Amino acid sequence: MKVVAQRSKKSSVSINNKIVGKIDKGLVILVGFTDGDSLKDIDYIVKKIINLRIFDDDNGVMNKSIKDVGGSILSISQFTLYADTKKGNRPSYIKAMNGNDATKLYDIFNDKLREYVNVETGVFGADMMVSISNDGPVTIIIESGD
């Protein structure tokens, strides 16, 4: 499992020019699954995300978590995180988990995040327009497994 987390001041996701999810202060997370990912991977990534100290404290030091600042999460499914670009110029997505299995894990992942913070989402598999106001910019890549 792989997640790209971006600290955000205001972000949204729309489908066919209609906003389906939006947040103010928080994190935009791009989420990808690969074969072999399980509930163990989800638990690991959820724990990392909710405790990641990348928000400023009163002294301007990144010392607070999303829970500490009362932030929200905009979660976007993104199978392209598992693109393989080693051969040629057209990425291969063979490492990405199939849609049926990934959808189930994505839903579980978001439900587990909702135990701690507000979570907005896009629509799995849809053609989405994501507008991210990356604050900092701060971008962290989190991977489970090895």
Two structure tokens written together for 57: 């404290």
Q: Quick check: is 80 catalytic?
A: yes
Find the catalytic residue in 34, 80, 103, 139: 80
Q: Is 83 helix (H, G, I), strand (E, B) or coil?
A: coil
Q: Is 105 helix (H, G, I), strand (E, B) or coil?
A: helix
**Whole-prediction pTM value?**
0.94
Domain 2-143 homologous superfamily, CATH: D-tyrosyl-tRNA(Tyr) deacylase (3.50.80.10)
Residue 105 near residue 37 (C-beta atoms within 8 A): yes
Beta-carbon contacts of residue 136 (< 8 Å; ≥ 6 apart): 7
- Strand ranges in 1-146 using DSSP code E only, listed in sequence order: 2-15, 18-23, 26-32, 55-56, 62-64, 72-77, 118-121, 129-143
Q: Would you give per-residue pLDDT tens digits along the chain (146 residues)?
A: 999 999 999 999 999 999 999 999 999 999 999 999 999 999 999 999 999 999 999 999 999 999 999 999 999 999 999 999 999 999 999 999 999 999 999 999 999 999 999 999 999 988 999 999 999 999 999 999 75
